[in-house]
Structure 1
C-alpha cells in the first residue's frame, strides 16, 4: 500500500496504486474506488439483474465478479483477527453461494456469473496465466537449486502426507483415494486458485464427476486446513521464543539453512503487480499458447491431464533456457497482473458456479473429516521439519516454509502464517513452496488419477 503524503489527503493516483483489494488503511476505498461511486456501480448491477437487462456475456461476467469480489475481499480485510485467518478468501468463496442459495441476488445475475466462470472458460484463463507466470517467472538458478536441496523435504513431505492420510482415511472407512484426492491433496495444493480449482477440473475429467461436486468437497478442507496451519505457526513462535532450542538445529530464528552461503540461491525476485501494456500483451500470448501446448500433448497422452503437461512444458522451457529472459518476464508480469486484478473475481465466480452448500455443511459436520484435516496439517509440518533437518535446514523454519507454506491458502495464508510465526523474512521460501509445491502436487495427482 502506498503511504499517503499527508494525514488528510490521498491523491487520485495514490488511491489506485498498490493492492487495490486491501482494505486496511483504505476504509473509504473499495477495489480502488471511493465508496459512493462503488455503491452506484453496485446499484446499476442489481437493477440490471432484476430487470433482466444483464447480457449473458463476458462484459457482464467481469462486472459482476469484480464488483462483488472487490467488496467481499475488502470486507474480509478490514475485520480484525479473522482477516489474519484468510477471511478475504473465505468471504469470496463462501458468501456468494450463500447469497444465491437464500435468493438475495437476482437469478439472472447468478446465472451470468456462473456461465462466465464455467461456460466461458474464465477459470482456464486464470490457470493459464498462473502456470506460465509462476514457473517461467522463477529464476533458473533458483529452480535448479531448489530442486537440489529444497526438493527433499518438499517431495518427501508430499509423499508422506498423501500416503498417511490415504491410509488413515481407509482405516476410518472413507477410502484410500478419497483421503488423498479430497482431503490431503487440496490442503497441500497451494490454496484455492492455484490448487483447488485446477484439481476440481482434473477430477471432473478423470473421474467423470461434475467439477462443482468435486470443488464442494475440496473447499472445506482448504479453509479448515488454513486455520489449523496458522494455529500451528503460532505454536512454533511460542516454542522458539527467545532463541529457545529444544535440540541442536531446532530453531534458526528466521534463518532456514544451517549451511552458510547457500541461502542466496533461494532468493525470489520482487514480483511487480503489473507492467507496460506491451509486456502484458506478450505475456498473455505466451501463457495462452503454453496452455494450448499442454492440450496438444494431452491429446496424444490423455492419461495425464493437460494441466500437468503445461507445467512440465513450462519447467522444461525454463530449465533449458529456451526462451529469452524478456519473454519469461512478460509471462511473469502477465500472471502478476491477473492475480492482482482477478483473484477475488475468480473466487466469486467459483462460489456461484461450483459450491454446493449442502455438501459443504455435510462435510464440516463430520468429526472424522475434521480429524483427518487436522492430521494432514500436523503430518505435513512434522515431515517437512524432520526431512529439512536431514538436509541441514533448521527444523522450525523448514516446517514453516515447506510444511505450513503448502498447507495454507496461498498468498494471504503465507502472510498470516509468517505473522503468527513472527518470521516474515521467510517469505521468499514460502513463495517457492507455493509455486513449486503446488505444481508438484498437481503432477503427482495427474499420475495417480488413472488408477482410480
Structure 2
C-alpha cells in the first residue's frame, strides 16, 4: 500500500510531481470559481497560471503534429489560455488580474533579463569572437534578404513596407519565442503604447508559419547540396582549409563529473546579478532612450561575455536559472499573454496571404545568407542553414528541427549563435525600427 501511494506521489505531469501540483490546482480552481482569486494576491495568480499552463504544456508536448510543427507545450499554453478566455472560462476581472501579475508589474522584465543572460553567456567566448568576425555579417545579409523579399511580396498584397518589417520580418528573424517574440512585444508596447498581446498574438502566428517553412527549406537545401556538391561542406561551415570548427557543446550527453571545486552554481547570486543588470539597463535606457531597454541588455551581456570577467560559478548559475526559469516562469508569461489575447485576432493571422509572406521572408533569409557566404569563406548551403534558417525558426527546438531536416547536426553551435546572438541583434534593431516606422 505504501509503495502504491509513493508511486502515485512520484508520478509527474510535464516534469512536475503530480501530487503537489494537483493540490495546488484544485485549491486555485476553488478560488477562481468562487470569485476569491484576487484575495490571494500574486501567489493565487501564479497558482492558477501554473495550473493552467502546465496542463496545457503537457498536452502540447504529447501531440505529434503540434509538437513538431506548431511549437509544442509553450505555444499550447498561450493558445489554450486564449481559448479559455474566449469561451468565458476566465472572467474579465480575473483575466486582467492574471495579466497584471506578470506583465503589468514588470516581473516579466526580470525573467527576460535572466533568459537573455543565460542564452548569451552560454556561448563560449571563443565561439562568440568567431561569430562576430564571420557569422554575424552573414546573419545581417540574411536579415537584409528577408526584409527585401518581404517588402516585395508585401507590395503584391498591398501591405506597407513598414508593417512588413515590423510585424513580419522582425518576429521571424528574432530568434524564437522566449528571447525573441516576447521581449519584442514589450518593445512594441513601450514604443507605441498599444497592447503587447495584440502584437505578440500576430507575431507568434507568423513565427509559427515561418518555422514550418524553415523546416521545408532545410530539407530542400539538403537535396540541393546532394545535387550540387560544390555548394556544400557536408556539415562543415568554413571553406578555409585551416579553419577549426566549433565543438558541438550541448548536442551530445557528456559524463557527469560534477561541478569543478569552487564553481558550484550560486542561484541567489545569479538572481541578484540579474536584478542588478536589469537596473543598469533601465538606467542606461533613461540616459539614452534611443536604444531600447532590451537592446541594452543584449549589449551588456555580449560585452561581459567578450570581456570574460564573470566567475564560472555565476555563469553556471545563470545557465541553471535559464533552464528552470524557462520551464517554470515562461509558462506563466505565456498564460498571462494568452489571457490578454483576442482569439479571433489570433486566428485571423492564419491566412493564405500570411503563409505566402512568411514563406517568402524565409526564402529571402536563405538567399541573403547563401549569396553572401563565399565573401566570408563559408559554404552557401551551410551558411543558409546556420545563419539563415536558424534565425527564421522558433529558437532552440526549431534549430534542432532545421538541422535534423537538413541532416547537418554538426552545425548546432552555429545555430545557437544565430538564435541567441542573431536574435539579440534583431531586438536591438527593433528598438530603432519601431520608433522610425510606427
> Which residue is equivalent to 2:41?
57
> Relative to 1, partners in 2 of residues 1:330 and 1:80: Cα closer, same or farther, differing over 3 Å?
closer
Q: Per-residue deviation at 1:305?
A: 0.9
Structure 1 gaps of 5+ residues are: 1-8, 16-27
Q: Per-residue deviation at 1:37?
A: 6.1
Q: Per-residue deviation at 1:126?
A: 1.6
2:207 to 222, 228, 237: 222
In structure 2, distance between residues paired with 1:390 and 1:164? 21
Aligned with 1:81: secondary structure?
helix
In structure 1, distance between residues paired with 2:19 and 2:436? 55
> Relative to 1, partners in 2 of residues 1:100 and 1:176: Cα closer, same or farther, differing over 3 Å?
same
1:255 to 221, 227, 236: 236
User: Aligned-pair RMSD on alpha carbons?
Assistant: 2.9
8 Å Cα contact 2:166/2:433 also seen in 1: no
**TM-score, normalised with respect to structure 1:** 0.84
1:29 to 12, 15, 36: 12
Q: Per-residue deviation at 1:247?
A: 4.5
**Number of positions where the alignment pairs a residue of Structure 1 with one of Structure 2:** 423
> Which residue is equivalent to 1:123?
108
> Relative to 1, partners in 2 of residues 1:387 and 1:57: Cα closer, same or farther, differing over 3 Å?
farther
8 Å Cα contact 2:147/2:364 also seen in 1: no
In structure 1, distance between residues paired with 2:151 and 2:288? 27
Say whether 1:385 aligns with 2:370.
Answer: yes
Aligned with 2:291: secondary structure?
coil
In structure 2, distance between residues paired with 1:332 and 1:36? 28
In structure 1, distance between residues paired with 2:390 and 2:273? 28
> Which residue is equivalent to 1:424?
409
Q: Per-residue deviation at 1:187?
A: 0.6
- Post-superposition Cα deviations, 1:50-74, rounded to whole Å, max 9, x if no partner, equal 0123235321232222232222222
- Post-superposition Cα deviations, 1:74-120, rounded to whole Å, max 9, x if no partner, equal 21222223321123233122111011111234656534422222223
> Which residue is equivalent to 1:20?
none
Structure 2 gaps of 5+ residues are: none
1:309 to 296, 306, 322: 296
Q: Per-residue deviation at 1:293?
A: 1.0
> Which residue is equivalent to 1:44?
27
Say whether 1:343 aligns with 2:330.
Answer: yes
8 Å Cα contact 1:187/1:222 also seen in 2: yes
8 Å Cα contact 1:153/1:402 also seen in 2: yes
Q: Per-residue deviation at 1:212?
A: 2.3
Q: Per-residue deviation at 1:308?
A: 0.9
> Which residue is equivalent to 1:331?
318
Q: Per-residue deviation at 1:210?
A: 2.2
**TM-score, normalised with respect to structure 2:** 0.87
8 Å Cα contact 1:222/1:409 also seen in 2: yes
Q: Could you say which structure has the greater relative contact order, defined with CA pairs below 8 angstroms and 6 or more residues apart?
A: 2
In structure 1, distance between residues paired with 2:19 and 2:303? 49
Q: Per-residue deviation at 1:359?
A: 2.0
8 Å Cα contact 1:56/1:112 also seen in 2: no
Q: Per-residue deviation at 1:388?
A: 2.6
